[in-house]
Amino acid sequence: MFTRIVVAAALSASIPAHLAAQGGIGGRLNDVPRAQAANPKPTPRLADGKPDLGNGKGAWNPRTIVNLSGTGTGGPNRSPVEKVIEVPFKPEAKKIYDQHLATLSKDDPEALCLPPGIPRMYATPFPFQIFQQPDRVIFIFEGAAHIWRTIYTDGRPHAKDPNPTYLGDAIGHWEGDTLVTDVIGFNDRTWLDQDGHPHSEALHVMEKFTRLNELSMRYEVTIDDPEMYTKPWTTSYLIPFVPGGELFEYICQENNVDVKHLVGK
């Protein structure tokens, strides 16, 4: 069974108490000592002055964000985003979303053991690690069958005609202490979150990763998909860090058929 260890009190002064109380550290990672959680150290830095986003010294452990808008199934208690927002659906997208909710998400691609995609990779309760190199930032995930993600920071442009993939074609750069990504080239086989916000292959994602201190990172994502939404929309939430945390084996058999047997509303 997947073990979940609750984070002590509050991870840091920068994390609102109501968010920290809802957080959970899964993946059999060690709990953060209370003194450390109450008084986190400043953001660690590399020799070049950039924030150290982990580099194997621990693991980031996202809370489950069921709904990126902060509403939906379970309401804010299941989706501790920083601010509840109204998603600017187009009529067809709202119809798809409502259908996903009505069928208990039995067609959820992640439940079928397919990669969750972006941004959902950062909203499921599976830890990940970040490794920085001079020309790229690499994310390694425990969940989703141990996939990895590379964000190039060497100034290259997007591929002219990227082959649609689950994680898209990502390029990035630093704005002060924030890693900013620009991602295109997605397939349409993922959901944006557990409640089933849809997207098309026109999806364009902008992300911001900001390590606030030793124990906390702010993740902000902007969804721009003109086929599904009337305008871009942005959400954000905090991701806890567990010093010394490691990734473990996790197996998810692709083409799982159990969820297809769900019936009713």
Token representation of residue 171: 């390029």
The gap from C-alpha 214 to its chain's centroid, in whole angstroms, comes to 19
What local confidence, expressed as pLDDT, does residue 137 receive? 98
pLDDT at 28: 40
Average pLDDT of the segment spanning 14-20? 36
Phi and psi at 183, nearest 5°, equal -130, 130
**Domain contains 263:** no
Q: Does 242 score more than 80 pLDDT?
A: yes
In a domain, 14, yes or no: yes
Q: What is the pTM of this model?
A: 0.86
Q: What is the pLDDT of residue 261?
A: 67
The count of other CB atoms within 10 Å of the CB of residue 154 is 11
For the chain, percent of residues with pLDDT exceeding 90: 71
| Residue 110, in any domain of the structure | yes
pLDDT of residue 2: 34
pLDDT for position 49: 95
Q: Which of 229, 179, 180 is nearest to 203 (CA)?
A: 229
Residue 260 lies in a domain: no
Residues 6 or more apart from 118 whose CB is under 8 A from it? 149, 167, 168, 170, 183, 186, 190, 205, 207, 221
Domain-embedded: residue 249: yes
pLDDT at residue 262, as a whole number: 66
Quick check: is 15 in a domain?
yes
For 226-257, give one letter per residue: b (16+ CB within 10 A) or e: eebbeeebebbbbbbbbbebebeeeebeeeee
- pLDDT tens, 210-238? 999 999 999 999 999 999 999 999 999 99
pLDDT > 70: what percent of the chain?
83
Predicted pLDDT of residue 263: 66
Q: What is the pLDDT of residues 153-209, one digit of tens each?
A: 999 999 999 999 999 999 999 999 999 999 999 999 999 999 999 999 999 999 999
Mean pLDDT check: name the lowest of 1-5, 114-118, 147-151.
1-5
Is residue 49 situated within a structural domain?
yes
Asked if residue 261 is part of any domain, the answer here is: no
Residue 116's region, left for phi above 0, alpha for psi from -120 to 50, else beta, is alpha
Residue 94, Ramachandran bin (φ over 0: left; ψ between -120 and 50: alpha; else beta): alpha
Per-residue model confidence (pLDDT) at position 90: 98
Where helices occur in the chain by DSSP H, the ranges are 17-20, 34-38, 91-102, 143-146
As a whole number, the mean pLDDT across the chain is: 86
Range of the domain at 153: 4-254
User: How many domains does the chain fold into?
Assistant: 1
110 compared with 90, residue with greater pLDDT: 90
Helices then strands, counting H and E runs in the chain, come out as 4, 11
Q: What is the DSSP string of 197-233?
A: ----TT-EEEEEEEEEETTEEEEEEEEE-TTTBSS-E
229: domain CATH number is 2.40.128.20
